[in-house]
């Protein structure tokens, strides 16, 4: 996904498979979550915790690109 792209999905883990960056996920009842995806990592499980099956899709929007640290030197933390 590109920055600020938005999709709706019933399966957040499947929709974000292979993606990188930070995503805002809104549950059907309005709760907002931020999910960070990194290369080589995956979401192994997201389960609906309600009593009834999820019948409404989750809006998912990419809010940030991944931050790379390649080529940057680490600065020691100030004491």
- Domain borders along the chain are 6-47+55-64
Q: What are the structure tokens assigned to 5, written together?
A: 């792209």
Q: Are 1 and 8 in contact (CB under 8 A)?
A: no
Tens digits of residue pLDDT in 4-47: 999 999 888 889 988 999 999 998 888 898 888 888 876 766 66
Tens digits of residue pLDDT in 68-79: 656 555 555 554
DSSP letters along the chain, please?
Answer: --TT-EEEES-HHHHTTT--EEEEEE-TTS-EEEEEE-TT---------SSS---SPEEEEEEEPPPP-TT-PPPPPP-
């Amino acid at each position: 996904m590109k920055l600020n792209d938005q999709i709706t999905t019933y399966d957040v883990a499947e929709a974000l498979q292979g993606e990188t960056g930070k995503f805002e996920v809104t549950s059907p009842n309005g709760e907002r979550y931020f999910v960070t995806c990194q290369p080589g990592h995956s979401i192994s499980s997201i389960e609906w915790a309600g009593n009834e099956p999820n019948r409404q899709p989750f809006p998912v929007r990419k809010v940030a690109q991944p931050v790379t640290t390649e080529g940057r030197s680490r600065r020691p933390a100030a004491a």
